[in-house]
Chains A and B, each alone.
Chain A
Amino acid sequence: MSDTVIQNPEPNYLEYQGRYKGIFAWIFSTDHKRIGLLYLYSMLVLFSVAAILGLLMKIELIAPGKTIMDAQTYNSFFTLHGITMIFLIVVPGLPAVFGNFFLPLMIGAKDVAFPKLNLLSWWIYILGAAVALSAQFFGDGPPDTGWTFYAPYSFRTGTNMLPAVTGAFILGFSSIATGLNFIVTIHRMRAPGMAWMKMPLFPWAIYGTSWIQVLATPIVGITLLMIVLERTLQIGFFDPALGGDPILYQHLFWIYSHPAVYIMILPAMGVISEIIPTFARKTIFGYKAIVVSTLAIAFVGYFVWGHHMFTSGMSGTALYTFSILTFLVAIPSAIKIFNWVATLHKASIDIQTPFLWALCFLFVFMIGGLSGMVLGALSANVHLHDTAFVVAHFHFIVFGGTGYAFFGALHYWYPKMFGRMYDKGWANIGLAVFFTGFNTLYLPMFYLGMIGMPRRYYDYVEEFHGPNIVSSFGAMLMISGLIIIITNLVRSARKGEIAEADPWKGKTLEWTVASPPPLENFAEIPVVTKRPYDYE
């Protein structure tokens, strides 16, 4: 992309000592790379907690009846698992960690457009997380509504709803500020010569995502505020007893929360679009088609929210419309899959850990996407709605999509972020155990849903026992894989081999600076003369 490797005499961002020392040098730093790592560490802690909750739920489901927890505890566990995973990890995940760290590097900028706003976003994130999680420890017991806070139950339950809803509301501001920052950065700070069609695909994905963050998040913010007002002031927005409409809540919630799925998946697609050409040693097939499909997903993704509500009692006209639109949104997603596969055709593939993560992503994302088509069909949806099938589909998309891309990104950019290489053998073993566990955990849930097992119940009839044992075993295997992966990465940050500036022979700008990058990224802003994946 740029012709020369720029060596910078400046200290790298990990060694730089500014005004503050110790932990304060991190939590008051406006450097985009340090902020990216702050998000990473925060999310790692929260992810561990939420994953353990998930494991405990699967242990509860290993046998019918009460195993290790009662029904109310199970309800609060799936609520906390959902709130933490969605609002604190998956929605902010890739943009906040890798967008922050790599967007400026990939477009040839020294930082984001508003570094102080960037730091403020992280502080708001921490505040939102603290408020949301405080619901577990104070008041009338942990919330039990599920992460969707569906009305009218969310203002009739006696549990501690307000902090959870307020926390999610606060987190929205962090998301909006980050999105705004990235949009301005991409518009105003691209390196000379980097025309829109010379921009790498990860920044493109971040750009599409940021627009969704800015435009859709206020809707959920207002909706959550309406719940607070309804609970505290008895204003009838959603409660039929007060003259409200509970389906209106579902509309408003999903008008945000479905585009939020694309906030989760678009950056993941961006990561895969970086990894595949790098290890295929080949220009990505259909660059423009991928860009257009990114924007098309961001746009059409706004209009499909109703497929979460097929059994809610919507009009027939709305049902048909949402079903058709849902099938339409699959087209741009499929375009990306075809382009990635076409890139691999006749390529000289270098099989490394990040590439294996990308391949696994393709496998699980395809299953997630195609099962989404099943749910998008009205007739099948009526049968499968609120069953374990939906949980399996959702996890194949969100964990299989965003989660795999997140770990793929971590293994891809790790040497750049920390200046050290992880143990590749252990990384591959971890992935193999994780991938086996993941499929053992979630594939039986498709079957369980089809034979009628409802979601969000701590108990079930004997008929569902066998697949649940397999699924619970899969959960344990998957967690074992995660432990191997995370231990390897944590250990390697201090003890791994020193990494080269460009260990994967990548062509985008982040590989032209030293590993770890200098504080201000580039001694001189690079001039871009080539397209981003120029392997010819």
Chain B
Amino acid sequence: MEKEQHTHIVKYKTYVFVLIALLFMTFTSVAITSLNLGPYTVSAALLLAGCKSLLVLLIFMHLKFDKKFYAIMAASVFLLLGCVIFITFLDYLYR
């Protein structure tokens, strides 16, 4: 039903940069556990994990080069997850 799309070929150099960025953030995630950030330790780990996921989605999974529709669908999933987490915390924060 849907028309064929042009295939976007990503340069190897870009993939290598992304790989390095992912590895760097992984090591940072590990290193950060040795710092005493108190209640922010989990937030920092989640922030780094979020950045890594975003890179994978945009570059490796081609969301950046695909139709906007797919980006909106992926964003909706994260919105849904955000709502689920928010509602769960209506229990934990007010218990």
A residues whose Cβ falls under 8 Å from a Cβ of B: 187-192, 194, 215, 247, 251, 255, 299, 302-303, 306, 313-318, 321-322
Contacts and interface: CB of A to CB of B under 8 A. Distances in A.
Contact of B83 (A187, A191, A303, A318): A303
Closest 5 CB pairs of A and B: A318-B91, A315-B94, A190-B1, A317-B94, A315-B95
B1 A302 contact: no
Binding site secondary structure of chain A? helix
Given A315-B91, A318-B87, 18 more contacts: A187-B1, A187-B2, A215-B77, A215-B80, A251-B88, A251-B91, A255-B88, A299-B80, A302-B80, A302-B83, A313-B95, A315-B93, A315-B94, A316-B94, A317-B90, A318-B95, A321-B90, A322-B87
B9 interface: no
Interface in B58-95: 77, 80, 83-84, 87-88, 90-95
Given A188-B2, A191-B1, A318 B94 contact: yes
Nearest to B89: A318
A251 B91 CA distance: 10
Contacts of A313: 95
A255 B90 contact: no
Nearest to A299: B80
A322 B77 CA distance: 21
B88 to A, nearest CB: 6
14 contacts: A187-B2, A189-B1, A191-B1, A215-B80, A251-B91, A299-B80, A303-B83, A315-B93, A315-B95, A317-B90, A317-B94, A318-B90, A318-B91, A321-B90
Contacts of A317: 90-91, 93-94
Interface of B: 1-2, 77, 80, 83-84, 87-88, 90-95
A192 to B, nearest CB: 7
A532 to B, nearest CB: 15
Contacts of B92: 315
A282 to B, nearest CB: 27
Contact of A188 (B1, B80, B84, B87): B1
B2 A321 contact: no
Q: Chain B CB within 10 Å — which of A247, A314, A318 has the most?
A: A318
Contacts of A303: 83-84, 87
Contacts of B90: 315, 317-318, 321
Contact of B91 (A187, A190, A302, A314): A314
Nearest to A312: B91
A357 B92 CA distance: 44
A187 B3 CA distance: 11
B53 to A, nearest CB: 14
Contacts of B2: 187-188
B84 A255 contact: yes
Contacts of A306: 87, 91
Nearest to A250: B91
Contacts of B80: 215, 299, 302
A251 B92 CA distance: 11
A327 to B, nearest CB: 15
A192 B3 CA distance: 11
A295 B54 CA distance: 27
A258 to B, nearest CB: 11
B84 A302 contact: yes
A302 B90 CA distance: 15
Contacts of A187: 1-2
Contacts of B1: 187-192, 194
B94 to A, nearest CB: 4
A76 B36 CA distance: 48
Contacts of A255: 84, 88
Contacts of B94: 315-318
Contacts of B83: 302-303
A314 B95 contact: yes
A45 B87 CA distance: 40
A247 B95 CA distance: 11
A255 B80 CA distance: 12
A358 to B, nearest CB: 29
Contacts of B93: 315, 317
Contacts of A192: 1
Contacts of A321: 87, 90
A108 B95 CA distance: 53
Nearest to B83: A303
A463 to B, nearest CB: 36
A213 to B, nearest CB: 13
A189 B1 CA distance: 6
Contacts of A302: 80, 83-84
Contacts of B88: 251, 255
A306 B83 CA distance: 13
Nearest to A528: B1
B68 to A, nearest CB: 15
Nearest to B80: A302
Tell which of B83, B88, B91, B94 has the most Cβ of chain A within 10 Å: B91
A299 B83 CA distance: 11
Nearest to A219: B84
Contacts of B87: 303, 306, 318, 321-322
A33 B73 CA distance: 30
Nearest to A187: B2
A37 B77 CA distance: 32
A190 B77 CA distance: 24
A4 B94 CA distance: 62
B7 to A, nearest CB: 15
A255 B84 CA distance: 8
